[in-house]
Each structure stands twice: as structure tokens, then as C-alpha cells.
Amino acid sequence: MSLANKLAEERRARLAAERLLEHKQAELREANHKLSLHARALSHEVHETRAENLRVKSDLTVAHQKVEIAERRLWHSIQTIEDGFAFFDADSRMIAANRAWLAVFDGLDEVKPGISYAEILRIITDEGIFDIGDQAPHEWREFMLDRWQGPAPEPIVLQLWSGHYIRIIDQPGADGDVVSLAHDISDTIRHEKELKEARRRAEAANRAKSAFLANMSHEIRTPMNGVVGMADLLTESALDEEQRLYVTTIKHSAEALMVIINDVLDYSKIEADKFVLHPEPFDLERCIHALVTLMQAQARDKGIDLLVDYDLFLPPRLVGDQGRIRQVLTNLVGNAVKFTEAGHVLIRVTGIQAGDGAEADIRITIEDTGIGIPADKIDHIFGEFNQVDDAQSRKFEGTGLGLAITQRLVRLMGGDIWVESEPHHGSTFGLSLHLPVAEAGVPEALSLAPGLSRALVAEPHDTCRALLERQLAALGLAVTACRDGRAALDLLAGADLVVAAHAMPGLDGTELAQALRAAGHAMPIVLLSASPASLARDPARDLVQAVLQRPVARHELIAALAELAPAEPAPEAAPRALRVLAAEDNKTNRLVFSKMVHTLDIELHFAENGREAVALFQSIAPDIVFMDISMPEMDGKEATRAIREIEAHEGGHVPIVAMTAHAMSGDDADILAAGLDHYLTKPLKRAAIVERILDATPPGVRPPEAAIQEAG
């Protein structure tokens, strides 16, 4: 190869190398440019990351500072509270505790974070920090450990050696940690002790008050029995008008005083929750008519009619506290009579037997035509010491406790009481009671004497006439009614029974009887009188077949109509008189009792103490015993127990009736528990004594007929 060719080839190779170098340099420059861009980007990213890290670090620092501040504040708060506060981990080792919790272990350096709960219990028993009583230290520690390990430990109260009381509450957490709280309840315990002591003193004062009231009741009732009884007897003796005024004033004043005493006693018993109900079988209708008998004289003196409308088809015997029901009705009827100047007071009793007939819903209303009650005073009247209007009703004396006591009594018996009234148009007080029907109760047969089908009623009072019509119609009689005796003579045709009021304008009941007999009429005549005893010496009494107390009770009406049948021949030998034994150490009270029963056909014997009563019981075999409770030598309860022991060996059971001035709650239960059958409080009421004597009359004994009249 020539030199030129070689030079050309070298030139071409050099040019190619130069071009390759330029190309590589261009690639290197491009790579450097990219590397520079990447380095700048990476530097920027590193810078941002470093800035973010700084921000995060700053935020973490701030957050940590806030947490430290919150923890410091929380712990400061825990340290400043007066109650103890401690934390334990899942292994029952203390994490932390505030000063109040650690103060119990003052001077014991080992009680600090890290100590176990079991070790704390050992220190408590070793150092005598808590009073564990008679319990052995190891037993107490075992009890506290078992409690601590329970799922929900009950709070416990412990007493420190210093006398302070600590209530400990241990609350387990979800991870096994336990928060222990210790409350100092010394002030609460001291307050509770003070309250208990105050209650003890109050109960002691209440017992002293009750004892005082019981003693005062007894001491007042004993002489009041003589005052009321003798005044009652004096009113029946021959007195001139001035003397009768004095005696009546004494009687009414004494009775008013007894009402006040009874109200105060009852209210004090209710307030002290000492009022106890004593349900027993009783006859509601008899109870109401006995009440009417007692109030008849007051109503008669005011010229108002006292009427009873009793549903003939109600069960004859119910179960309830007869004494309290009588007290409720006495308050309501007494108020009605007191606040009624003219017209009438009507006691209406209705009801239905519920379910299978074992219980009855009884509704009793007392309707009057008195002064009425303004609408804004309706609720006021049931308040303590309240009357309708102080200015208007001040002439109607009273404690203002009657309706308050009545409302409380009705509610105690599970009933309800209400009132509807309009000023100057009368009032209606109503009460509802849900009472069991007595199992022993047997309804009286609604039967008539043979030959009776049509009755003529002569009664001037519209309401009473309507009641008689309904009662006789319920017995199956066709009834014709009129207002007076003269109208009765015109309507007589076809009547085979005449029922007439004693007091009627124009021609009264006895004059009607005389006119009927003079005209040759022989049908039976039944007179209704507010005072049957006043007819005892009236010649016209022999012209009528029966004289009934007005308002007439269902059982008395049924019995009277049944007795109109031909009488059976009288036995040849008259039965003996009822024997009554009365044990009474007070001479005045013996006189009062004898006068109250002097018109009864009975054989009366007195004993002056319990020992004498037991001896007379064995010698005379009485049919009924009236037993004073407070007597010398042997009291009434001891004498009754002795009589019951005699009967246990010899057989029989004579009714024994307590006569006592004790009237506080529990007295009746205590007395009846001694074996007595009935309970009468002093001052004694003649109607109550007569009722007991009539109930105790056995077969083969002359019925004390005069008692029926004397009850009027």
C-alpha cells in the first residue's frame, strides 16, 4: 500500500475517532446534565425531608410537653384531693399513690411504688393501722385478698386506729390494673350516729308522750264515765225546765270533751304510725243503725230526719275493722247532723259482690241538706285543724281534726273518700271500701208472713216514704203510699198490712191505728217511731203489732213482718231471766251501769274486784260478763284468764266484755289477747251495752224485750 493510501486511511481513522469522541463527549455532557438535575432534585427532597423531620420532631416535642403538663396537672389534682387515690398493676404492685392515700402509712417508708398489695395488708395488721376487731390478722388478710381478687369487689368500710372511718372502693380495669379509692366518711358516720341518737331520743319522747296520753286518757275517761252516765240518767228523771237545761248542758259538754280527747288521741296515733286495724266479721247494717240510734236524739232535737237506705241484697256480714268503720261514719254523720239546720241526713249504702262473691265493693254516702261547702274549700276541709269557714262555722265547735282523721282511716283501710257540695244546697260525703264477705255470713230470708201481699205506707217525709216503698217492694209486696193518716184511710181498700210513721200531721200513727180498729179493720199495723220507748205506756200500743225504731233496719223489718204470722202457743213455764255479771270497783260506775240496764229484764250481779268476779262466775253461772280491766287484788285480764281456765275444764264459753278507760293503740289487742271477746271504752254507751246483752241472749232465756225500746 502506498504511503498516500496509508495517510488517507489514518486521516479517515482519526476523523472517525474525533467524531466518536465528540459523540461520547456529547453523551457525557448529557449524562452530566441529567446527573446534575437528579442531584438537585435529590438535594431538594433531602432538604424537604430534613425540614419535615424537624417539624415532626418539633410537634413531638410540643406534644410531649403537653402530655407532661397534663400528667403533671392530673397528678397535682390527685395529690390535692382529700380522698386517697392509688394505682396498682396487673401483678397487684403499686404504681403510684397520692399523699392522702399514703398518709395512712405515715412514717412507713416501705409503702411506696413497687410494693405489693399483700405486703400492704401485712403492714396494716402488724402496725395496727386498721381496727380489725376480734378477727385474727391472717384471717383478715385472707378476706381482704379474696375481696381484692374478685371481679367486682364490694366497697368496704374500715376504721382507722385514730377512730376515723374510711370507705374503700377498688375498681379493676380491663388489663388487670386496679384503681383504689379511699373516702374519709367519718363526718357521715358521725352524722348517722347523731341521727340515730336523735331518733332514739325522739322515739323515747314519743313513747313518753304515748304513755302520758294513755294515762291521761284512762284518768279522764274513768270520771267522765260517771259524769256522762249520770247526766244521761238525770235527763230521764223528773226535772223542771231549768234543771233539765243544766243537766243537758253537762251531758253535751262532757260528750264534746270526749270527742276532743278521742280526736287528739287518734291523730297522735296516726302521726306515730301506731294505728293498727283489726278486721273481723261484722254486720255493717247493724253497725250503721247502732250509730243512728246514738245520734237520733241530737237529730230529733234539731228537727231533722236521720234516714238509712241500705241495699237489701248486700251480704249481711262483711270482714273489716268495725270500730274504725264506725268511727269514720260517726265523724261523717256527726258532721252532717251538726251542719244541717233543717231537712234530713240520709245514709245510703249500696254495693256489689265482686268475682265469686268472696268480696264486696261497698259504697256509702252521707247526704245532707245543710250549709254546704264552697268549691274552693273542698280540699281544705280534709286538712288538720281546719273547718269550712272560721267566721261562719265558729258556732259549730270542734277540733277540726275529724275529717283529717277520717280521710287517713279510710286510706289505711284501702278505700277512697270524696265530697260533692254546693253552698246552701247540702253536701254528699262518700266513701268506698273493698271488704271480704264473711264466710259465716248467711243472708236473712226475705220471707213474709202468710197472707201478706199489699201494704199501705203512711209517711210524711218524701225520702223516707220512698225508702219504705223500695224495701217493701223488695220483699214482694205491692205498695201504696201516702203522706199522712187521713190519706191512708182513703187508700185503705185491699191493704192487708199498714206501715205508718208515729209522728204525722193531722192524724198521727196511733190515732190512725185507733181509727182503723174502730172501723173494724184487723190487718197488722207496724208503727215507725224515732222514740219507741215513748209508746210503752200509750194505750194505743196494744192496737199495733210492732213498733220499730226509725229508721228501720233490714233485719228488724224482716223479723217484724215474719212475726205477723200466727203465734205458737206459749210454753207453760216462763223461761228464766238473763244473768249478767258486772265486775267494777268504782262505786259511781256501778251505779251508772245499773241505771243503764234497769229497764231490761235481766238478773244483774256486781263484783267489786277480779277475785270476787271469778267466785261469782262459779256460783251464779252468768250468761254474759262485763269486766272492768283496772281493779284491785286481781285485774280484769287476770280474772278473765281464771274464768277461761275454769271453762277449759268444765266446758262452755261465756262472752266477756271489757269495760276500760284505756283507749290507746294496742290496748284493745292486749286486752282481747287475755281471752275477752269484746272491748268497750269508757264513758260507756247504753246502746253498746244493750247490743252486747241482746247478742249474748241464749235459747231458753227470756229475751230482755225492754232493751229494744231502751236502745231508742
d(CA 565, CA 454): 15
The one-character DSSP state at 115 is -
pLDDT at 301 over 70: yes
* Average pLDDT over all residues of the chain: 82
Identify whether the C-beta of residue 493 lies closer than 8 Å to the C-beta of residue 481: no
pLDDT at 398 over 70: no
Burial class (CB in 10 A: 0-12, 13-18, 19+), 202: exposed
Tell me, what's the pLDDT at 511? 92
Q: Which residues pair with 298 in a beta bridge?
A: none
Tens of pLDDT, residue by residue over 467-500, are: 889 888 888 889 999 999 999 998 988 899 999 9
CATH class entry, domain 578-710: alpha beta
> In CATH, which superfamily holds the domain spanning 84-184?
PAS domain (3.30.450.20)
CATH no., domain 454-562: 3.40.50.2300
> In CATH, which superfamily holds the domain spanning 276-436?
Histidine kinase-like ATPase, C-terminal domain (3.30.565.10)
Out of 35-49, 202-216, 301-315, the most confident range is 301-315
Domain boundaries, the chain: 1-80, 84-184, 276-436, 454-562, 578-710
Tens of pLDDT, residue by residue over 235-260, are: 778 888 788 778 877 877 777 677 66
Tell me, what's the pLDDT at 501? 92
508-512: long-range contacts (C-beta < 8 A, 24 or more apart)? 509/458, 509/485, 509/544, 510/535, 510/538, 510/540, 510/541, 510/543, 510/544, 511/485, 511/540, 512/458, 512/485, 512/488
* Percent of the chain topping pLDDT 90: 19
501/700: higher pLDDT: 501
pLDDT at 274 over 70: no
Identify whether the C-beta of residue 569 lies closer than 8 Å to the C-beta of residue 661: no
Tens of pLDDT, residue by residue over 582-607, are: 999 988 888 889 988 888 889 999 99
- pLDDT range class, residue 708, cuts 50, 70, 90: very low
Fold match, 84-184 / 276-436: no
d(CA 472, CA 474): 5
Q: Is the peptide bond before 436 cis (omega within 30 degrees of 0)?
A: no
Cell 264486696 sits on residue: 360
CB atoms within 10 A of CB 687: 20
Tell me, what's the pLDDT at 480? 93
Specify the amino acid at residue 541. Answer: R
Tell me, what's the pLDDT at 439? 56
d(CA 479, CA 496): 11
Tens of pLDDT, residue by residue over 83-137, are: 888 889 988 899 888 888 888 888 788 888 899 999 989 988 888 888 888 889 9
Tell me, what's the pLDDT at 475? 81
d(CA 373, CA 83): 61
Specify the amino acid at residue 693. Answer: I
Average of pLDDT values for 191-220? 78
Range of lowest pLDDT (19-23, 56-60, 404-408, 687-691): 56-60
Which residues lie closer than 8 Å to 432 by C-beta, 6 or more apart? 361, 362, 363, 364, 415, 416
